[in-house]
A and B are shown apart, each in its own frame.
Chain A
Amino acid sequence: MNRQRLSQWWFVGTLVAALLSMLVPLPGVLEPFKPYWPALVLLYWSLEAEDRVNLGLAFGVGLCADLLNGVLLGEQALRLCALVFIALRFRSRLRFFPMWQQALAVLALLLNDRILLLIVRMLAGASLPPASWWISPFVGAALWPFLFLLLDDLRARLRIQ
């Protein structure tokens, strides 16, 4: 019972930490390298704990992120829903990929996410972002193996599901 509650808190805690690190600014030079943390953490949980992650959760996390970011209500909700949907669809395959293939799949998912964002912003009337805007998905994919192993290791140490 206690263990279950702990694992629930751990789950929520990682999501909140992802939202917070989305808000933390980096020094100007590193700014375009910042990965989209909520997407990475949601991806991890949708691969590892399918019963917890569904589209409703992705929508809720996205709405919270929109509320914090203050850009456009529903923008990140849409992106995270699409991301989690694809991840859950191909979950059984993604799980058995070797790590480098998984990272490539994450790269594809994050690039798709950026394209969605671009479409939304274009429709909202924003101008084209600079080329450095496209670096972030690659950084996210490069960080994916480390994030995955770290979260897995922590979960094993805490002996939670």
Chain B
Amino acid sequence: MTATQRKPQKVWKTNNWVDLFLTAIRIGAMAFIGVGLLAFVLEQAGGEGLTGGAIRGLFVTGISQGAMYGLIALGYSMVYGVLGFINFAHGEVFMAGAMSGWITSTILFENGMWEGEAKFVLALLIVLVIAVIVSTLATILIERVAYRPLRESPRLIPLITSIGVSFFMQNAVLGLFGPASKTLPAPPPWMSAEYTFLRIEGTKILVLVIAAVSMAGLWVFVERTKTGKAMRAVAEDKEIAALMGIDVNRTIVTTFAVGGAMAGVAGVLWGLLFRGVSALTGFLPGIKAFTAAVIGGVGNLGGSMAGGLLLGLVESVAPLVILKPLGIPAVSQLKDAVAFAVLVLILLFKPTGLFGERLAAEDRA
């Protein structure tokens, strides 16, 4: 009796030290952000800070990039939901979409489709559809060739495999198209004009609209259709899903396909935002989207979208609003570091991500 009473107390004590340490870090981090924000406000008040336009620009850039991260993050989250491993090749599926976007837009540009209003919108739709097809096929192929044979193995095995697939795809594209960055044709001039009272650039409006429509479409698909219901059932309990008569394999393929389609859309958005595409394009956005998924709570679709938006926003705003006023030089170089610092910060406060649920031990990869 006494032994069983002493033990939990001991555990409680060590936990307490860890808790204390974590609390100290949490307070430190909050203080750092607070001081940064204060310095920023003082700078603004002193009239030597950013102009209103510049701040607005940061937000718009952040949200549009964040929407793109969110779209990619969905793929990580969905696959994690059904198979319990992180598909690191997903960044390359996104890259495949971006590459196909470059190819189709170049062809359409050469045929005079990349100008005027109606023509450009039609051309963009074609680019989108083809990118979605390419990414979807790529991801279905990867699932069939690389992951399905490993369905019964421990989850670390497909995880490592996905890293292998990722390298394979990078190198395949490198071999096929060379290392140089490809440039997409510039959108027609009316696209770079600023619209609405917020004076948002046309391309960014386009990016936001496409992302919003895709996300809404995905939401309807997952929440309102029979296949979506089957998908959520498979994510939760494959054996019982099969007992309901659901074809588990087909549902898993559908999950990959839908995630791939979202990555394809994101690839086109990348092209619109940055216009440069190469074999290595998938790497950093892929990792960041994964980060976004973790921030939102992996497996939670709404969380992944929100995580993406948050990450894009902070990555764009924080360097100039928090870091620069603290006197840190060359802040725009710190964009990527900020992105991952956000991850650490959020996990410090909420270890399961913003909207995540605590996973049972057997659910963890």
- Do A and B share a complex? no
